[in-house]
Amino acid sequence: MSDAVTMEKIVSLCKRRGFIFQSSEIYGGLGSCWDYGPMGVELKRNVKNAWWRTMVEERGDVVGLDCSIMMHPTVWKASGHIDSFSDPLVECKECHQRWRADQLEKQACPACDGELTEARNFNLMFKTFMGAVEEDAAVVYLRPETAQGIFVNFQNVVSTSRKRLPLGIAQIGKSFRNEITPGNFTFRTREFEQMEMEFFVQPGSDEEWYEYWSGERFAWYKKLGIRSENLRMREHAKDELAHYAKACVDVEYLFPIGWSELEGIANRTDFDLKQHSSWSGKDLSYFDSATNERFIPYVIEPSAGADRSTLAFLVDAYTEEEVEGASRVVLKLHPALAPVKVAILPLSKNERLMPLARDVHDRVRKCFVTEYDDTQSIGRRYRRQDEIGTPLCVTVDFDSLEDGQVTIRDRDSLAQIRLPIDNLVETLRAKLSGEEFGSDSLWAGARA
């Protein structure tokens, strides 16, 4: 990452160009909650679609699921979240700010140097009440991970999908954690989206699959354009492991705040299925008819954050450049992630240009996500498209009326080519899936 990329610059671009806004801004905002604007919603959806495509659609051994956010409260007893999903909380006796004890470098308040209380365990799950009566029996939790919905549906999926092990079940959805110290924009929030996959395997083959998924997940970020020098893998030490894990490795990204977790790949062993089997009284074992063996599968779990990876893609793409004596900000996003793929820009608002420009737009929008913009000078419109990461701009000018040709401008190289309108869609498709953007199946054929 360039030294010049700060979180402030990313926050400012996100607000200026409609990627991410502070939640409830007109009321002063709500801490650590963020809303995705018109560009942000497309970008994040493209990240989720790219994950789903790689993890489910391009494979024969992973199927999808979409579970409810609220689940039977015993799920969280069985999973261990009620007893141990907590962080050590301390409070300043002077200014009453709260901190995570395990993240403090000294035993005094970082804000005012005041004395801190003894640490107590603070459970991170949000509680609410189901139904009209607010009583203990009606307490339910907002899920802190999507994974548990997958474990409790394991038998449903196996018996209906006609799949054999090894088998993955993937899910994308909201999770909630009452983090003590959220912050750094969308990096750590109390409401966020996860992209999780639980891969069920025969015990004994788990270590091999753990290696496999660690490699696959690292490669996914690189395939979508994250620079190698900003990515690394970090294996967890034994004393860092979650209560359910035999091994865990993080894919880390060099954010402006330093190297931080993007995604974790964990070997969860048979912990979760055994726990749910014992608390529910239901048999969650698997019978392998090929070997005549019955066993509780082991689970390898790649668990990524949709918001956190969207932030990483934004940071990695953010570039400040000098071009012909002028400076520009450009988001060099992979075309599969770019919110808008092609912008149609008539040179001016002149009414002679309108019918042809509209006709060109109609042809292109059938195949790609487009934006039509005829306001302001062409320079300002290019600047806006650069800042939202649009890979290609098509300009329609007065010569187009005579020769039936338009100009394509490439976001990264700034190269321009002029070509007949009849060849436009095919050329755009070739350029968007071509070598200059790293050709791969994520983009090929995608209308996105």
397 counts as binding ligand GAP under rule CB under 6 A = no
207 counts as binding ligand GAP under rule CB under 6 A = no
How many other C-beta atoms lie within 10 A of the C-beta of residue 159? 8
Tokens of 441: 């199946």
Q: Which is nearer to ligand GAP, 301 or 386 (CB)?
A: 301
Residue 300 and residue 237: Cα distance in Å, rounded? 18
- Of the residues 34, 154, 185, 192, which one makes contact with ligand GAP according to CB under 6 A: 192
Task: Give the count of alpha carbons within 13 A of 9, CB side only.
Answer: 19
Task: Give the count of alpha carbons within 13 A of 133, CB side only.
Answer: 4
- Of the residues 196, 206, 252, 373, which one makes contact with ligand GAP according to CB under 6 A: 196
Residues 290-319, one symbol each (x = binds ligand GAP by CB under 6 A, - = not), give -----------x-xxx-xx-----------
179 counts as binding ligand GAP under rule CB under 6 A = yes
- Of the residues 211, 261, 410, 436, which one makes contact with ligand GAP according to CB under 6 A: 261
The distance of closest approach from Cβ of residue 224 to ligand GAP in the complex, given in angstroms and rounded to an integer, is 15
Contact between 62 and 56 (Cβ < 8 Å): yes
Nearest position to ligand GAP, beta carbon: 305
| Dihedral angle sign, alpha carbons of residues 170, 176, 182, 184 | positive
181 counts as binding ligand GAP under rule CB under 6 A = no
The distance of closest approach from Cβ of residue 330 to ligand GAP in the complex, given in angstroms and rounded to an integer, is 26
Residue 442 and residue 448: Cα distance in Å, rounded? 10
**Burial class of residue 433, CB neighbours in 10 A (0-12, 13-18, 19+):** buried
The single-letter code of the amino acid at 10 is I
Choose the binding region for ligand GAP from 15-23, 154-162, 185-193, 396-404 (rule: CB under 6 A).
185-193
Q: What angle do CA 437, 440, 444 make, to 5 degrees?
A: 95
Tokens of 11: 């926050």
Respond yes or no on whether the N-terminal peptide bond of residue 166 is cis (omega within 30° of 0): yes
Residue 207 and residue 383: Cα distance in Å, rounded? 49
370 counts as binding ligand GAP under rule CB under 6 A = no
Q: DSSP 3-state assignment of 252?
A: strand
Q: Which is nearer to ligand GAP, 46 or 171 (CB)?
A: 171
Q: Which is nearer to ligand GAP, 264 or 346 (CB)?
A: 264
Q: Which is nearer to ligand GAP, 109 or 262 (CB)?
A: 262
The distance of closest approach from Cβ of residue 192 to ligand GAP in the complex, given in angstroms and rounded to an integer, is 4
Tokens of 49: 């679609």
The distance of closest approach from Cβ of residue 306 to ligand GAP in the complex, given in angstroms and rounded to an integer, is 8
Number of residues in contact with ligand GAP under rule CB under 6 A: 19
The distance of closest approach from Cβ of residue 311 to ligand GAP in the complex, given in angstroms and rounded to an integer, is 9
Tokens of 125: 């799950």
Q: Which is nearer to ligand GAP, 81 or 409 (CB)?
A: 81
Show Cβ contacts of residue 161 under 8 Å, excluding neighbours closer than 6 positions: 63, 167
Nearest CA to 338 among 317, 320, 323?
317
Show Cβ contacts of residue 356 under 8 Å, excluding neighbours closer than 6 positions: 396, 400, 401
- Of the residues 149, 264, 302, 391, which one makes contact with ligand GAP according to CB under 6 A: 264
Nearest CA to 49 among 199, 263, 193?
193
Choose the binding region for ligand GAP from 77-85, 186-194, 320-328, 384-392 (rule: CB under 6 A).
186-194
Nearest CA to 273 among 149, 143, 145, 154?
154
The distance of closest approach from Cβ of residue 198 to ligand GAP in the complex, given in angstroms and rounded to an integer, is 9
Nearest CA to 429 among 348, 363, 371?
363
- The label of the residue with tokens 């974790």 reads 264
The distance of closest approach from Cβ of residue 359 to ligand GAP in the complex, given in angstroms and rounded to an integer, is 44
The distance of closest approach from Cβ of residue 121 to ligand GAP in the complex, given in angstroms and rounded to an integer, is 17
The distance of closest approach from Cβ of residue 425 to ligand GAP in the complex, given in angstroms and rounded to an integer, is 37
Choose the binding region for ligand GAP from 22-30, 257-265, 318-326, 335-343 (rule: CB under 6 A).
257-265
Interacting residues with ligand GAP between 81 and 120 (CB under 6 A): none
Interacting residues with ligand GAP between 1 and 30 (CB under 6 A): none
The distance of closest approach from Cβ of residue 24 to ligand GAP in the complex, given in angstroms and rounded to an integer, is 18
Provide φ and ψ at 294, rounded to 5°.
-115, 130
269 counts as binding ligand GAP under rule CB under 6 A = no
User: What's the residue count for the chain?
Assistant: 448
Interacting residues with ligand GAP between 135 and 164 (CB under 6 A): 145, 147
- Of the residues 194, 269, 390, 433, which one makes contact with ligand GAP according to CB under 6 A: 194
386 counts as binding ligand GAP under rule CB under 6 A = no
The single-letter code of the amino acid at 425 is V
Residues contributing to the site for ligand GAP (CB under 6 A): 145, 147, 177, 179, 188-189, 192, 194, 196, 261-264, 301, 303-305, 307-308
